[in-house]
């Protein structure tokens, strides 16, 4: 079905119905180099941001947690030692396959004894209502075509008392730093992508998609509109990255 609705794809506006496929092609293309590129692009800092994010989530044994857009498993691997029952979901099977291989290398079983891996579109989850204690999404939501639908689904699948956590790039408000970061990200990251992953365009998309993402207050308002209460934003590096959270009550 063709509609006149558009969606951002990096700095481009494209027909909304094309975004999912184009984002899919990006992540299928980078899946095998995704982890090494994350280290290169963030000079290892994504590891610290993810550690902090998981400290905020505070997964507990006996909880059920959905790690949405979980990709190659970085967030799930950090939560697994808690003993929580974790489902890693992503729309892209190539990303999940890399995650399943990484889990096997770490001795983490595929299934109820370890991690569950489930291909899902964040906008249209196949899970029933009110089954998860926590929903996490790290560096995933900006790739989704309809962010409001993904937030509504997050709210639907959480139990009452359940918590929502999102780690995402935003805009740093530190004077001077934003100019340096802008120059670095627009010029150097695509070159790094070319050198390491042989793919300049995908990394240009990743940077441009960060620029198009709503500001911290705008995104917090979207989380509230989805029904979450007691929403909070924790900026990291002046807001270069932010942890958003909210409760379903």
Q: How far apart are CA 164 and CA 166, in angstroms?
A: 7
Under the binding rule (CB under 6 A), the answer on residue 123 touching ligand SAM is: yes
Using a 10 angstrom Cβ sphere, with 0-12 exposed, 13-18 middle and 19 or more buried, the burial of residue 126 is exposed
Distance of CA 108 to the CA centre of its chain: 22
**239 sits near ligand SAM (criterion: CB under 6 A):** no
C-beta of 154 vs 216, nearer to ligand SAM: 154
Task: Find the shortest distance in angstroms from Cβ 189 to ligand SAM.
Answer: 13
Q: Binding-site residue total for ligand SAM (CB under 6 A)?
A: 19
Q: Does 202 bind ligand SAM (CB under 6 A)?
A: no
Does residue 10 bind ligand SAM (CB under 6 A)? no
- Residue 126 or 249: the one with the smaller Cβ distance to ligand SAM is 126
CB of 235 to ligand SAM, least distance (A): 18
Among 9, 77, 139, 169, binds ligand SAM (CB under 6 A): 139
Q: Is residue 70 part of the contact set for ligand SAM (CB under 6 A)?
A: yes
By CB under 6 A, name the one of 92, 170, 202, 209 that touches ligand SAM. Answer: 92
Regarding 208 and contact with ligand SAM (CB under 6 A), the answer is no
Q: Is position 199 an interface residue for ligand SAM (rule: CB under 6 A)?
A: no
- The binder of ligand SAM chosen from 121, 170, 172, 245 (CB under 6 A): 121
Gyration radius of the chain over CA positions: 17
In angstroms, the CA 20 to CA 7 distance is 10
Asked if 90 is part of the footprint of ligand SAM (rule: CB under 6 A), the reply reads yes
Task: Answer yes or no whether residue 144 interacts with ligand SAM by CB under 6 A.
Answer: yes
Minimum gap (Å) between residue 176 Cβ and ligand SAM? 27
DSSP string, 28-49: HHHGGGHHHHHHHHTTTHHHHH
Ordered DSSP codes for 87-148? EEEES-HHHHHHHHHHHHHTT--BSTTSEEEEE-BTTB--SPSS-EEEEEEES-GGG-S-HH
Using rule CB under 6 A, residue 91 touches ligand SAM: yes
78: nearest Cα among 28, 138, 34, 123: 138
Distance, CA of 174 to CA of 222 (rounded, Å):
24
Q: In terms of Cα–Cα distance, which of 139, 99, 127, 93 is closest to 115?
A: 99
CA-wise closest residue to 26 among 74, 18, 148: 18
Q: Which residues bind ligand SAM (CB under 6 A)?
A: 23, 27, 69-71, 74-75, 90-92, 95, 121-123, 138-140, 143-144
């Amino acid at each position: 079905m063709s509609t006149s609705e558009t969606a951002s794809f990096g700095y481009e506006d494209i027909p909304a119905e094309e975004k999912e496929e184009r984002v899919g092609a990006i992540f299928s293309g980078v899946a095998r180099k995704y982890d090494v590129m994350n280290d290169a692009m963030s000079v290892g800092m994504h590891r610290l941001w993810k550690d902090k994010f998981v400290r905020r989530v505070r997964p507990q044994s006996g909880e059920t947690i959905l790690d949405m857009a979980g990709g190659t498993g970085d967030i799930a691997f950090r939560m697994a030692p808690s003993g929580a029952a974790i489902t890693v979901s992503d729309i892209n099977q190539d990303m999940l396959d890399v995650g399943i291989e990484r889990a096997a290398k770490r001795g983490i079983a595929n299934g109820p004894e370890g991690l569950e891996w489930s291909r899902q579109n964040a906008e249209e989850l196949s899970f029933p209502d009110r089954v998860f204690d926590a929903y996490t999404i790290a560096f995933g939501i900006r790739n989704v075509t309809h962010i409001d639908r993904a937030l509504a689904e997050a709210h639907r699948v959480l139990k009452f008392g359940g918590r929502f956590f999102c780690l995402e790039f935003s805009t740093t408000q530190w004077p001077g730093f934003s100019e340096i970061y802008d120059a670095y990200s627009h010029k150097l990251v695509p070159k790094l992508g070319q050198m390491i992953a042989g793919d300049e365009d995908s990394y240009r998309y990743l940077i441009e998609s960060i620029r198009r993402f709503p500001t911290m207050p705008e995104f917090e308002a979207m989380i509230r509109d989805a029904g979450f209460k007691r929403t909070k934003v924790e900026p990291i590096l002046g807001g270069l990255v932010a942890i958003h959270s909210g409760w379903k009550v």
